[in-house]
Amino acid sequence: MEIPAARDPVSAARDAFDDAVLHVKQFRGETTLVVEPARLPEVLDFLRVSSGLVYNMLSDVSAVDYYPEDYGDEFDGDESDYRPGRFAVSYHILSMLYNRRLRVKVFAAEDDPRLPTATVVWPAANWLEREIADMMGITFDGHPDQRRLLMPDDWHGHPHRRDYPLGKETVAFSFNEAEIRKHKPFAQN
């Protein structure tokens, strides 16, 4: 069987989705493709099935919070400083056939961050996105399982956010026990 020649993922994605590719970045030999959030599943599916690309495996999904620094400004041309939203989710995809990786990145806004789910493209995205929803507080629309993954179901807040207060668990004394218990509905008998 003849293997079709490898295509450049950036130009292929630009040809297919001209308006959806917002930005392209190279760093240490890794290519990052920033796409429009609403069209993420389409782009991922295109990269997965198109001949010459065949990114057949989802290696990792990771989220980053740009909280204390500037984000949401006008893009000033500095490659590493392209940050239109507070949160970014990166899909690291791998093409076994052509032995190369690609990062597809989407940004989400600070208020009520929402992204479409990639579970329709890869079932592997299920837990990886659930982890992000739990730890970063990004809602994945259409995700089949919206429960928390790592933290307890009655937990408040999203620990991996950069503004999540680092502290300790309040010690329960008789004067504040009722107050603490109110926040832990599942921990009672």
Partner 1 sequence: MAVAAQARSIEEQRKWEGSLDELRGLVSERAMTGETMLLNMGPHHPSTHGVLRLLLELDGEEIVTCLPDIGFLHTGIEKSLEDKSYEKALPLTDRMDYLSPMSNNMAYSCAVEKLLDLDVPERGQIIRVICLELARCASHLVWLGTHAIDMGAMSVLLYAFRERERVLGMFEMLSGQRMMSSYIRPGGVWRDVPAEFLPTIKQFLKDFPAKVDDYEALLTQNPIWKDRAQGVGVVEPDVALAHGMTGPALRGSGVNWDLRKAQPYSGYETYDFNVPLGEHGDVYDRYLIRIQEFRESMKILNQAVARLETVKGPYRSENRKYVPPLRSELGQSMEAVIHHFKLWTYGYDAPDDEIYSAIESPRGEIGCYIHGTGANKPRRVHFKTPSFIHISALPVMSSGYLLADMVAIIGSVDIVLGDCDR
Q: Give me the residues that bind partner 1 (CB under 8 A), please.
A: 27-28, 30, 32, 56-60, 62-66, 69, 80-81, 90, 92, 96, 99, 101, 103, 122-124, 126-128, 131, 144-145, 147-152, 159-160, 162, 166
Residue 15 neighbours by CB distance under 10 Å: 11
**Closer by beta carbon to partner 1, 19 or else 156:** 156
What do you get for the CA distance between the two ends of the chain, in Å? 63
Distance CA 114, CA 139 (A): 5
**Closer by beta carbon to partner 1, 170 or else 176:** 170
Distance CA 118, CA 51 (A): 20
Beta carbon of residue 89, minimum distance to partner 1 (angstroms, whole number): 11
Are 83 and 150 contacting, i.e. CB atoms less than 8 angstroms apart? Answer: no
**Closer by beta carbon to partner 1, 30 or else 141:** 30
Are 90 and 79 contacting, i.e. CB atoms less than 8 angstroms apart? Answer: no
Beta carbon of residue 66, minimum distance to partner 1 (angstroms, whole number): 7
**Closer by beta carbon to partner 1, 28 or else 182:** 28
Beta carbon of residue 109, minimum distance to partner 1 (angstroms, whole number): 18
